[in-house]
Amino acid sequence: ALELMLLNEPLTAERAEDIGLVRQVVDDAKLMFEALTLARRLAEGPTRALVATRLLIEESEHATYEAQFRREIELQAVVRKTADAIEGRNAFVEKRKAKFAGR
């Protein structure tokens, strides 16, 4: 980040990907396909856990370390009791792909 600010050099999409500023660079023609692929992957995931993760990230901006740590413990206690968490653990033990239902 310091290098980008001090040198003020042009930043290409490829360079942004190389330094981890963006997750992926795709051709314009593939953009919609890649976006939908990512959206499907997220939708098929443990949505309650993903929502909790997003909430923790948003809350972290204004929280102390201690408060954030306590909040994560609270949300983990809730999420680990969900049907999706149980399905995830079962799928791991059974060595199969989990089938999350958003519950």
Q: Give the residue with greater pLDDT, 21 vs 1.
A: 21
Mean pLDDT of 22-38: 95
The 3-class SS string of 19-70 reads CCCCCCCCCHHHHHHHHHHHHHHHHCCCHHHHHHHHHHHHHHCCCCHHHHHH
* 37-95 tens-digit pLDDT: 999 999 999 999 999 999 999 999 999 999 999 999 999 999 999 999 999 999 999 99
* pLDDT surpasses 90 at 100: yes
Euclidean distance between the first and final Cα of the chain, in Å? 39
Determine the CATH number of domain 46-103.
1.10.12.10
Judged by DSSP in three states, 4 sits in helix
Domain boundaries, the chain: 1-43, 46-103
Q: What is the pLDDT of residue 1?
A: 84
Q: What is the pLDDT of residue 89?
A: 96
